[in-house]
Chain A
């Protein structure tokens, strides 16, 4: 089944403790992206990647890191999480730079930083 797999689904952590949210897709998509979703603000893009070793900032990259060492994986790293990073996170992938076929989204990761 074609899918984007995110882990974990739920995570509660403490301020300053490094964490990684994993994202993997099995569709051979070139383009992958991370979004956070907050009430009233919609989905905001954190980082995106157009292919292996090619990443770029979205609209809200502060406090996040990403890497794209393999085509299928695009982990999101929070080096020192803070409470304002409490949010619902989605990983998404697509072919053709997100045009035409749209994104396939992962199931989401609900992160709480206390």
Chain B
């Protein structure tokens, strides 16, 4: 079957670094997305990893290990506005094209 696991909630302090993990089991893996979703709003695209390794984009970095079925999103220099849900999503290509989302990790940033 297919499964995406990420922690339900995390709390971190303003200015700190936080790592949000995601593990997945799926066939036909294409790549892995991270999205940010503020409460009551639409998700917005953060990153897409196809190859193993770390990709950095400003304060946000995303890592992928295809052999381990593992990814993480790293947020540095946390700001209050980073309080949101972070969605891990897997792009699959098996006789059709689908993107499957995890349930999301709700991040609370405290002062």
Contacts and interface: CB of A to CB of B under 8 A. Distances in A.
Interface residues of A, number: 27
The interface size bin for chain B is 20 to 34
Interface in A62-114: 90, 97-108
Contacts of B91: 98-99
A91 to B, nearest CB: 9
B42 interface: yes
Contact of B30 (A99, A103, A104, A106): A99
Q: Interface on chain B toward A: helix, strand, loop, or mixed SS?
A: strand
27 contacts: A33-B99, A40-B103, A42-B101, A42-B102, A42-B104, A43-B43, A43-B89, A43-B101, A44-B101, A45-B98, A50-B97, A56-B96, A58-B98, A59-B98, A90-B43, A98-B91, A99-B31, A99-B48, A101-B48, A102-B33, A102-B45, A102-B46, A103-B43, A103-B45, A104-B45, A105-B42, A107-B42
Given A41-B103, A43-B87, A99-B31, 19 more contacts: A31-B97, A43-B89, A50-B97, A56-B97, A59-B98, A90-B42, A90-B43, A98-B97, A99-B91, A100-B31, A100-B48, A101-B45, A102-B45, A102-B46, A103-B35, A103-B43, A105-B42, A106-B42, A107-B42
